[in-house]
Amino acid sequence: MTLFVGNLPFSVTQQDISDAFSEYGTVKNVKIPTDRESGRPRGFAFVDMEEAEEAKAIAELDGATWDNRQIRVNKAEPRPERSGGGGGGGGGGNRNFGDRPQRPRY
């Protein structure tokens, strides 16, 4: 199963997380998402552990302090599906409505 670990210090590494969680069971994988533009960590991670071991890690680490930050640890929820497409725009600017006054657009 996958755990979500939030409010992490930006300086934390995959190895740091793996070391901390390995005290509670076997860590299969650690993923720290990064910002697309800057490449910096986003302050959260996903940790894959055995299902039987994750409850112990949640109980022990949720609310713990890591570099003066109170971290959150819980089961990762599947990402909600996004609706497809981007929707169409409303088209052009200067429409001619004849002699009718036009409302200002804000």
* Residue 81, pLDDT score: 81
Q: What is the mean pLDDT of residues 61-74?
A: 95
Annotated domain spans of the chain: 2-75
pLDDT at 88 over 80: no
Which DSSP symbol is given to 94? -
Q: What is the mean pLDDT of residues 61-85?
A: 89
* CB neighbours of residue 20 within 10 Å: 20
* Residue 102, pLDDT score: 53
pTM equals: 0.73
pLDDT tens digits along 24-47: 999 999 999 999 999 999 999 999
Identity of the residue numbered 91: G
Superfamily of domain 2-75: RRM (RNA recognition motif) domain (3.30.70.330)
Q: What is the mean pLDDT of residues 83-91?
A: 60
What lies within 8 Å, CB to CB, of 82 at 6+ separation is none
* Residue 96, pLDDT score: 53
